[in-house]
Structure formats: structure tokens, C-alpha cells
Amino acid sequence: MTSKPSPPAQEKKRFQPFQVPPRLLFSPGPTPVPPSVLQAMTKTVLGHLDPVFLHCMDEIKAMLQIVFETANRVTFPVSGTGSAGMEAAVFNAVEAGDDIVVCPMGVFGERLLAIIERTPAHPVIVRGEWGEPIEVSKIEAALQSCRPRALALVHAETSTGVAQRLEGLAELAHKYDALLIVDTVASLSGQPVGVDENQIDICYSGSQKCIGAPPGLAPITFSERALERLRTRRTPVQSWYFDVTGIEKYWGQERTYHHTAPISMNYALHEALRLICEEGLEGRWARHELAHRALVAGLEAMNIQMLVTPEHRAVVVNAVCVPEGVDGARVRARLLEEHNLEVAGGLGQLRGKIWRVGLMGESSRREHLLRLLDALHQVLQAEGYACDSGLAAAEQVYAAS
């Protein structure tokens, strides 16, 4: 018998350690992560039922209750990004045959709709113009037109920089026996949300924006009204992974195994929440609002306009109109290549028309904002757009605060 020839030895591939440039992020997520939050992720990985990690979970829950401004006992981070929180909210709230009023006014409102359309529920759609909030009268008309189980909308629409007012929406939803579901992925800890004050039934967010941790967790909270609705469902939640009745037993007193939690990400979330609590919510909101006003003043001094009218602007996501004759993509590329600053472009129907400047967490600090305005002025001048510097105008805002 002749033996088969041995296969030729393959050359061993070698890879170098991954190198990351020192970027400063002004995108609307992810955002700059404080050093102590990054350091937290290097701690020893514990088992997901280790008593020490369970204590970490308890503190995360307590700090999330502070940040959400709620006493809701079912408050925890879903293992997944903000879109996972979105799916968890929808899947637990509705089932086959339910009507749900959904109010898209940008890309992420449309994503909320797309998720609802994958459930056996029936969406009743109230669309808003991109760059404007949705009129409450239109929302009420939609609630009147059906038998709604829920009203779902985005608080701060990341694609347009619009903030939808939350006051009075719960009273409106509850009048028609509907739950109020609010997406606060962009806004939580950067501007007031007030889950209990605004009687929000299901509220979710993301770790990677104003909270200041890496992407990977989606904080969520459920009111007792929402939990009662969940307990009286006719059918099981269509997603096993996102079924709150299972997850809450892991985060609650039972400590029943549900899934292997992302341990290191929870360390990071714990530290990010600790920093928020140390700064204080009101102080943090004030810092974000001040940075927003300074940015607007600086841009207007450079003859650059905002997309959204002042009364409807989100503080944390700024939709900046690309000046006529300026190649917005080239400006963003030069900011990245020459200054290590990342600014996002427009999405959907606003692609090429706006820059999206996130002032979230660490990026809303004075020194970072001034660096951005200075770099933007340099790049625009190099691109042939004649304008004054915006630094003095921004500094005046800070000086007056």
C-alpha cells in the first residue's frame, strides 16, 4: 500500500497587536469612554452567579434607578446594544392582534416601526417631518382610531437632533389604556427623562451614549403597570432571550440563571454609572446643556446654521447644516485624518445635508468642545469656506454661565 503524501506545511500567519489611534468622538454614539471605565473592564472576570458579581448587579440596578429617576423594581441592563433594548420593550409590550401607535420622525423611529412590523401586532403609524417633533393632536387622533395597547416613540431622535416633549404623553396614552414606551438611547443622563414623573411605562437606553460606557448594554425599566400587562398576556413573549419574566429572575431576588451576562461590560457600566452619580444628574444635565449652547453660539459665529428650531432641539445630538458649497464628507474626513476628531454625517433623507455632532458624556466638556470648534474652523478655511472663528462666541457662553 502506498501512503498518501503529507499535505504541505502551511505557513503560520502572524498578526500584530491591534493599534487604536487617539480619537476624540463627537459622533452621536459611541462616545468617549473615561479612563476609569476602560480600566474597570480589565478587572478579573467573575462567574455570573459569583456573590461578588451579584453585589455588582445590585449596585448597577440601584444606580440605574437613580439615572432613570424611578423606583421601578424591574430595572436592569439588557445584554445587547440599544436596539436590543428596543426589541425587548416591544416584544414584552405587545402580542398578536394588538394595536400599537408608533411615531417615527427619523431613522430610529423607523427602526422602532420595523421591529413592530416583525411582531404579530398591528402598527398604527404617526409620521413626523424629519427635523420636527410630532404634534400631540396627531398622536391622540391615532390613539382614538384604534384600541391601542401601547404608544411608542423616540425622545431624542439621533438622526435629526429633535427632542420630543414627554410631558403629558403618559396621561394621553393611559386615557386610552395604552402603555407609554420611550426610547431614551440618546438622551438618558444627558438631559432630563423622569421616568416616574412622566409616568413612562417602559423606558430603554444604551450604554454607549451619554452614560459613557462602551456599546454592549441596554438599560431598561418597567413600571408596575407594564408588569401587570405582561403578567396577563395571552401568549408567551415571542423572544426567549428578551422575555423580561425570565431576565428579572436573574436580576431579582431569585438569582435564577438566565444567560451568561457580559461580566466586563457590567463592570464598565457600574463605573460609568458611579461617575454619573458622583457628578449628580442635575449637574450633568447642566453641563450638557451648556455645551450645547456654546456649540450653537460658536457655529452661528461661523455662519453655520442648525437644522432644528431652538425650542425643539435635543441638547445631546446637534444637527448642523452643511454650508452651501461645502463638501460635508470631505470636512468630516479631514477632521478625522488631521485632527483625530470624529463627527457623524446625516442619515436617510438628510445624508449629505447635515453633520451630527454628539455632545454626550465626556465630549460635552468645555476643553473638547473648544478643540472641535477650532479644528472645524481650520478645516473649513482650508476647504475655501471663509468664516470667522467660533471660539470667542463659545467662550462667552461659558463665561456667562
Could you tell me the residue range of the domain that residue 227 belongs to?
35-278
Considering the domain architecture, whether residues 301 and 161 belong to the same structural domain is answered as: no
Asked whether residue 25 is assigned to any structural domain, the reply reads no
Residues 310 and 199 in one domain: no
Is residue 166 a part of any domain in this protein? yes
Q: How confident is the model at residue 11 (pLDDT cuts 50, 70, 90)?
A: confident
| pLDDT tens track for 348-388 | 999 999 999 999 999 999 999 999 999 999 999 999 999 99
pLDDT band at 94 (very low <50, low <70, confident <90, very high): very high
H helix intervals, 232-364: 244-251, 263-279, 281-301, 328-339
Q: Left (φ > 0), alpha (ψ -120 to 50) or beta: where does 174 sit? A: alpha
Tally of domains in the chain: 2
User: CA nearest 218: which of 205, 230, 235?
Assistant: 205
Residue 163 shares a structural domain with residue 273: yes
Do 194 and 60 have their domain in common?
A: yes
CATH number reported for the structural domain that contains residue 205 in this entry: 3.40.640.10
Nearest Cα residue to 259 out of 299, 217, 289: 217
6: in domain: no
- Strands across the sheet with 217-222, in order? 74-79, 217-222, 202-204, 179-183, 148-154, 99-103, 122-125
pLDDT tens digits, one per residue of 323-337 = 999 999 999 999 999
- Identify whether residues 241 and 298 lie together within a single domain: no
Residue 303: which of 243, 213, 371, 393 has the closest Cα?
393
Residues 215 and 287 in one domain: no
Contact of 321 with 306, CB cutoff 8 Å: yes
Q: Which three cell numbers stand for residue 108?
A: 430610529
50 phi and psi angles, rounded to 5 deg: -65, 135
Task: Report how far residue 212's alpha carbon sits from residue 204's, in angstroms, rounded to the nearest whole number.
Answer: 15
In this predicted structure, the answer to whether residue 1 has a pLDDT above a threshold of 70 is: no
- For the whole prediction, is pTM greater than 0.75? yes
- Does residue 228 lie in a domain region? yes
Within a domain: residue 351?
yes
Instruction: Tally Cβ neighbours within 10 Å of residue 338.
Output: 12
β-partners of residue 357 are 318
Distances, alpha carbon 100 to alpha carbons 83, 85, 113, 277, 333, in Å: 18, 17, 10, 35, 41
Is the distance from CB of 173 to CB of 271 less than 8 angstroms? no
